[in-house]
A and B are shown apart, each in its own frame.
Chain A
Amino acid sequence: MKSYLEKLMNRESLTLEEMKQAAATSFSEQTTESELASFLTALRVKGETPEEIAGLAEIIRSQSAQTTDIPIPLWIIAAQVVMVPTVSISAQQPHLSWPAQEPLSPNTATAASQVEREARMCWSTWAFPYPSLKNMSRRCLRKTILHFCLRQMYTPP
């Protein structure tokens, strides 16, 4: 980090790769807050170049791909490949039917275990039977589905 900071203080621009390196280092807690503050200020005073902006944008993009709040694509993969439930409702009781389960590819298995982990968290905060399945927010629906998945995985019909 120090070498990048020195470069900036000399009014030299960082290359795309240097910026990616600097951003990755900063995100990994190896830098102090004062270093970060100096880094951002030095960039601003020198004037940010397209390479520097692009470098930071790429690192943020790759970081956020790893730490998405709710792994929507994951559960879609899991729901489509691992288990596509047919849901029917009678007397406010959801009922799911599942196709026979096939052997899982490593990717699908990882996805499934993620779904399972998230569903386990939902398990404790969500109570059956659902008061109203209509007018549910999207987030609630997702929770419900995850809950369904878990329920079915542990107590198959």
Chain B
Amino acid sequence: MKRFMSVRKNIGIPTIFNLIGPLTNPVALDTQLLGVYRRDILPLLAQTLHQLGRKRALVINGAGHMDEGSLAGENHIALLEEGSVTSFTLNPDEVNLPVYDNDAIKGGNAKDNARILVDVLSGKHGAHRDTVLFNAGLGLFANGTAESIRDGIRVAEESIDSGAAMEKLERLTDYSKKVSSEVI
């Protein structure tokens, strides 16, 4: 592996190694939502996920070349479904979400980001919430739990507004506190 890395460095052109980063997840997955910075390799990666045994997968390059779903405009998507790949684009208005500039969801330091997370899960409206809904919807659709991206967004909305998402966060916080106090 080390020799491979030095060879990679020496030849200086992008190689197959630039493509496989997100594909080496140690957990064996059935379904996957995958964000990538490059737009030209979406179908290639979706086909690769098929080879790796994924039953469903959604590979996305967001508006502004983000490696996740973005509400700033057109998102490029390759969907793996029952062994075949279809490509399409998706605009925020197609899923009834407003358009926001990518700058509107900039994060900050750990404390800022924690506050943003709690705000979103408490039901605060705005660019952060809508982006979370969008990406959660994509994830639920990629997984097959939701029949469409719109459905996925609806499920995500319910999860936040009913307090279920916040409860999950609290359980996670409690668990991690419990574990660390047991260890110490």
Give the secondary structure class of B's interface.
helix
A157 to B47, CA, bound (A): 58
A82 to B36, CA, bound (A): 42
Is A18's CB within 8 Å of the partner chain B?
Answer: no
Q: Binary interface profile of A, 136-157, with partner B (CB < 8 Å = 1, else 0)?
A: 1000010001000000000000
Is B110's CB within 8 Å of the partner chain A?
Answer: no
Closest to A33 in B: B7
Q: Which of B1, B44, B180 contacts A53 (CB 8 A)?
A: B44
**A48–B16 CB distance below 8 A:** yes
**A44–B24 CB distance below 8 A:** no
Given contact pairs A33-B3, A41-B13, A44-B16, A54 touches B184 in the complex (Cβ within 8 A)? no
Is B104's CB within 8 Å of the partner chain A?
Answer: no
**A57–B48 CB distance below 8 A:** yes
Closest to A134 in B: B184
Closest to A57 in B: B23
A64 to B6, CA, bound (A): 18
- Contacting A at CB under 8 A, from B5-58, are 6-8, 10-11, 13-17, 19-20, 23-26, 44-45, 47-48, 50-52
A55 to B19, CA, bound (A): 12
Q: Which of B7, B24, B48 contacts A40 (CB 8 A)?
A: B7
Given contact pairs A44-B16, A53-B20, A63-B1, A89 touches B184 in the complex (Cβ within 8 A)? yes
Is A37's CB within 8 Å of the partner chain B?
Answer: yes
Is A50's CB within 8 Å of the partner chain B?
Answer: yes
CB-CB under 8 A from B25, the residues of chain A are 61
CB-CB under 8 A from B4, the residues of chain A are 26-27, 36
**A33–B184 CB distance below 8 A:** no
Closest to B19 in A: A53
Closest to A63 in B: B1
Closest to A16 in B: B51
**B184–A50 CB distance below 8 A:** no
CB-CB under 8 A from B23, the residues of chain A are 53-54, 57
A50 to B19, CA, bound (A): 10
Known: A50-B48, A61-B25. 14 other contacts (CB 8 A): A27-B1, A37-B7, A41-B11, A43-B16, A44-B14, A48-B16, A53-B16, A53-B51, A54-B51, A55-B51, A56-B17, A58-B52, A64-B26, A89-B184
For this complex, 9 residue pairs linking A to B, each with C-beta atoms less than 8 Å apart, are A40-B17, A43-B16, A48-B16, A53-B16, A54-B48, A56-B16, A57-B23, A60-B1, A87-B182
- Shortest Cβ-Cβ A-B pairs, 6 listed: A54-B51, A50-B47, A57-B23, A50-B48, A40-B15, A53-B48
